[in-house]
Structure 1
Amino acid sequence: MTPPRVLRLEKRHFDTLDLTRMLAAVAVLFWHYQHFFVPDIVPYGFQVNRAGVEPLHRPFALLYDHGHVAVQYFWAVSGFVFAHVYLADPHSRSRFWPARIARLWPLHLLTLCIVALFQAGYLVRNGHYFIYAWNDARHFVLNLFLAQYWGFQQNQSFNGPAWSLSTEIVAYAAFWLLLPVLRRAPGTVAGLLAATTMTLVLAGAPNETVLSCIAYFFGGAGVYALALKDIATPARLVAAAPGLALAAWAAWTFWRSEELATGAATFAVLALAVAVDLADTRRVMRFGKRLGDASYGIYLWHFPLQLLLVLAIPGVQAAAGRTGFLVFFIACSIMAGFASHALFERPAQRAVLRLFDRLRQRRAAAA
């Protein structure tokens, strides 16, 4: 097996990556801002390109119309970070799932229950649900286990944005299962899996969102493997970024392939962010870590916040057309992310990990 010392970069924190996670979460806020303009007679559906009513649409058109592709960037960053955290850790397989459960489930379960409550109120008032219509018992159980987007669902349900977490759980499982071989040949294994799953996506295979998540996740892990071998140096990453951006433009302009364009653009941004981090030996970008901490909370709280606003404000569509309301919504979502991380996510994470430690100690004592 390759010695652990060559499986981890010397840099401990990737602050610029954390900053870009925060920016990606804000991009999703713009994409979902259209929820405020869905007519009451339409129980589900997105109304994109609403340039006439969305405030500041012209300067933020890219975010309004394409902010959803930030999800793919989240997946790629996760693959990079997981490779950094787990490849060189000899105990990573035993620690992996307790750490994932402690980090993801508490806030997911809290927002799931809050959305279920708010949607019940919206249903009583309006006769249908808000945006995500499949809020029955079966979908609630799927959501409980973050299995709501594995192919068993009718559509997005409850706290709809959590669908991307559901697909990422499958990528986590693949990473955990493949850790032994990833340690032996991280670049080869990650590259082959990313290429294979992306080929299946482009071929129209079933469960393409799960396959797409795996492709981006292991693509990010592959970038980390290239950095380990000094192939992905800051200079080379900076040089590669414009080529990837040009490839994204060509894929969209000439082939109208959203998947190829998104993939190239995602890794162009990832390349630049990793280049900055690798070059930032003095941690000038350390502020990015604190901002990135809020990204998970921003992502999971913004839809419950929307539900609260549509319940609390009559005629919310008119209000949402004002710039002040846009600023208010984004500011509240960001503040919710920071408050959630400090007041709920970190304490809950510590509590869950303590529970796992006690269970482990009891099993050891019983043995």
Structure 2
Amino acid sequence: MIRYRLFEIWRLVAALLIMLYHFGHFAPGAGLAVKDELESLRPLLDMFFIISGFLIFTRYGDQVRDARSYGIYLYKRLIRLYPLHLATMSYFVLVGLLVLAGVLRSGGEPELYDWSALPSNLLLIQAWGVEDRLTFNFVSWSLSAEWFAYLLLPVIIVAYRQWGLAGLFALLFACYASLELMVRSGVMPFESWVKADTWGAYRTFADFVLGALLSLLVHRSRLSVSARWPAWIAILLACTSMVLQLNIYVTLFALAVAVFLAGLVERNDPERYTYPVFLRAAAAVSFGIYLWHPVTESMFFSYLWSHHIRSESIGLFFTYTGCVMLLTVFVAIASFRLFENTLSGYLLRVVGLARPKTVAKEARVSANR
């Protein structure tokens, strides 16, 4: 099984930047400029979704052929996503209850604890346009959006099996055209679909289609390139496009080129490591870092920094931030090894889908897809 190590390190860097962006909202004075600068990197979330579409289609595009295989596929994806979602959301439910009972003075942003939105969060539909703001573990909108894309994988598969690459290109065009129409008609209440979160499911599905298309292009390509530097240049150009705030489709094209080149070189030379080995554990848990960081933000910034430290020192703030970021990475690694992987293995065994021991280690590493 190909590891796609470039995807691993890119997703790790993106998760760290997103975490820094959210922590940066608590910076004193001029330190807020870091948060403002990172705001332009919002399309990195689209990179996450494109890579997810690439990996999911690569793994399941041939496997999902009937109702049973579709059910098995959904079960595997659900036990990968939902336990961590439920654990991190439960923290915010607990904090909300303590605030409601008057035990805590505040729990960060009061609007996070909207009890009417709890059912949609439990059902993972909060990013389908049913809510008007983010609640509880606010970043879990992206899980809701990915779940939407997982459910609609058969649409992508049918488009390809019926009409080939032309079918996927047509579906891709229809998805982004629909996003533009939804924004311009006011159906999607955002100035751009790039900023959609409570409506992020539709943005994510479009990115998934792009990822699936790139997976097929990599599979069919006869290019023998194995050098990593073109893929790195492409991803840096995509980030430059974000910083310069060029048209989103310029950025998407650069991201598509980067993902294509990364997939191609990993296919051609799958054994080469593209980042230091000591980062391997962290690179495998970018999903966990992304979901756990609002919890550490709540503890160490909304509460401890805001109510007890309250320093105006920018140096102290960013030293403190670095420590909390490192702690979050260790929490994500521990969560994956002791909770997520153990529970998912048990849930697979319960229904007779346990992975063979000979490939268990490799499967654990690739489970972050």
Q: Is the 8 A contact 2:6 2:274 kept in 1?
A: yes
Q: Give the drift of 1:27.
A: 1.4
Find the counterpart in structure 1 of residue 292 from structure 2. Answer: 301
CA distance in structure 1 between the aligned counterparts of 2:223 and 2:163, rounded to whole angstroms? 16
CA distance in structure 1 between the aligned counterparts of 2:167 and 2:29, rounded to whole angstroms? 44
Find the counterpart in structure 2 of residue 31 from structure 1. Answer: 21
Q: Does 1:106 find its partner at 2:96?
A: no
Aligned length: 330
Please show how residues 206-355 of structure 1 align to structure 2 within 5 Å.
206-207=187-188, 208=193, 209-230=200-221, 234=225, 259-285=248-274, 287=277, 290-309=281-300, 310-313=302-305, 314-318=307-311, 321=314, 322=316, 323-355=318-350
CA distance in structure 2 between the aligned counterparts of 1:225 and 1:277, rounded to whole angstroms? 14
Q: Give the drift of 1:248.
A: 7.7
Q: Cα RMSD over matched residues?
A: 3.4
Q: Is the 8 A contact 1:248 1:260 kept in 2?
A: no
CA distance in structure 2 between the aligned counterparts of 1:349 and 1:110, rounded to whole angstroms? 14
TM-score, normalised on structure 2?
0.77
* Cα 1:186–1:94 shift into 2, 3 Å: farther
324-333 or 12-21, which moves further after superposition? 12-21
* Cα 1:129–1:90 shift into 2, 3 Å: closer
Q: Does 1:87 find its partner at 2:65?
A: no
CA distance in structure 1 between the aligned counterparts of 2:159 and 2:112, rounded to whole angstroms? 40
Q: Does 1:70 find its partner at 2:48?
A: no
Query: Deviation per CA, 1:217-276, whole angstroms, max 9, x where unpaired?
Result: 1111111111111167647997688678768867985xx556335423432442443244
Q: Is the 8 A contact 1:16 1:276 kept in 2?
A: no
CA distance in structure 2 between the aligned counterparts of 1:252 and 1:19, rounded to whole angstroms? 20
**Structure 1 residues not aligned, in runs of 5+:** 1-10, 38-49, 359-367
* Cα 1:241–1:297 shift into 2, 3 Å: closer
Q: Give the drift of 1:329.
A: 1.5
Please show how residues 50-65 of structure 1 align to structure 2 within 5 Å.
52-54=30-32, 57=34, 62=37, 64-65=38-39
Please show how residues 38-187 of structure 1 align to structure 2 within 5 Å.
52-54=30-32, 57=34, 62=37, 64-89=38-63, 92-122=69-99, 124=102, 129-131=107-109, 133-183=111-161, 187=165
**Structure 2 residues not aligned, in runs of 5+:** 194-199, 354-369
CA distance in structure 2 between the aligned counterparts of 1:291 and 1:328, rounded to whole angstroms? 15
CA distance in structure 2 between the aligned counterparts of 1:120 and 1:258, rounded to whole angstroms? 43
* Cα 1:263–1:236 shift into 2, 3 Å: farther
CA distance in structure 2 between the aligned counterparts of 1:155 and 1:342, rounded to whole angstroms? 32
Q: Does 1:17 find its partner at 2:3?
A: no
Percentage of identical aligned residues: 21
TM-score, normalised on structure 1?
0.77
* Cα 1:251–1:143 shift into 2, 3 Å: closer
- The one-letter code matched in structure 1 to 2:42 is H
Find the counterpart in structure 1 of residue 356 from structure 2. Answer: none
Q: Does 1:197 find its partner at 2:197?
A: no
CA distance in structure 1 between the aligned counterparts of 2:350 and 2:77, rounded to whole angstroms? 14
CA distance in structure 1 between the aligned counterparts of 2:292 and 2:4, rounded to whole angstroms? 25
Q: Is the 8 A contact 2:112 2:135 kept in 1?
A: yes
CA distance in structure 2 between the aligned counterparts of 1:251 and 1:299, rounded to whole angstroms? 20
CA distance in structure 1 between the aligned counterparts of 2:269 and 2:212, rounded to whole angstroms? 20
CA distance in structure 2 between the aligned counterparts of 1:24 and 1:247, rounded to whole angstroms? 13
CA distance in structure 1 between the aligned counterparts of 2:330 and 2:271, rounded to whole angstroms? 28
